[in-house]
Homo-oligomer: A and B are copies of this chain.
Amino acid sequence: MNYAKLLAVAMNEARIGFEEGGVPVGAALFAADGRLLGSGRNRRVQDGDPSLHGETDAFRKAGRQTDYRDKILVTTLAPCWYCSGLIRQFNIGTVVIGESANFAGHPDWLREAGVKLVELNDPECIALMRRFIERSPTIWYEDIGVPPAPSMP
């Protein structure tokens, strides 16, 4: 499987998200043969919807599936607990991660559940996410559930 080609689909979603002013995390779900089932991106800013991370939007767009063990989820950024829980509950067989430099995620927890992880350490994914975190730190921390620091006394 050409994972870099699959990542390009997720990265295109991330770039659109960045241009929209949103959190630039994109994702896509593929069948075992590489057929695209659905792609999506984080929609916190665009739709005011905190439930849609890149991974959950791609999962949603792919519609109802009865078995995910042979599916491939590709995401531009390492999955948070929310998206890791999605992967584990639905037994998504393979997860391709564009980068985990800006957010480490929980790879050991996924591996222990039998998920195959492919880490691509992609420089373009790293650079886009870094630009976003520098541009919009408040939105980024909101998106991963880190509350604002209390103001100084």
Interface residues of A (CB under 8 A from B): 44, 48-52, 56-57, 59-60, 63-69, 80-86, 88-91, 142, 144-145, 147-148
Contact = CB atoms under 8 A, between A and B. Distances in A.
Given A81-B85, A82-B89, A145 B64 contact: no
A6 to B, nearest CB: 20
A73 to B, nearest CB: 13
Contacts of A50: 59-60, 63-65, 90
A88 B66 CA distance: 26
A49 to B, nearest CB: 6
Contact of A81 (B65, B69, B89, B142): B89
B142 A64 contact: yes
B81 A147 contact: no
8 contacts: A50-B63, A51-B51, A64-B142, A66-B148, A67-B147, A80-B85, A85-B85, A91-B145
Contacts of A84: 85
B51 A56 contact: yes
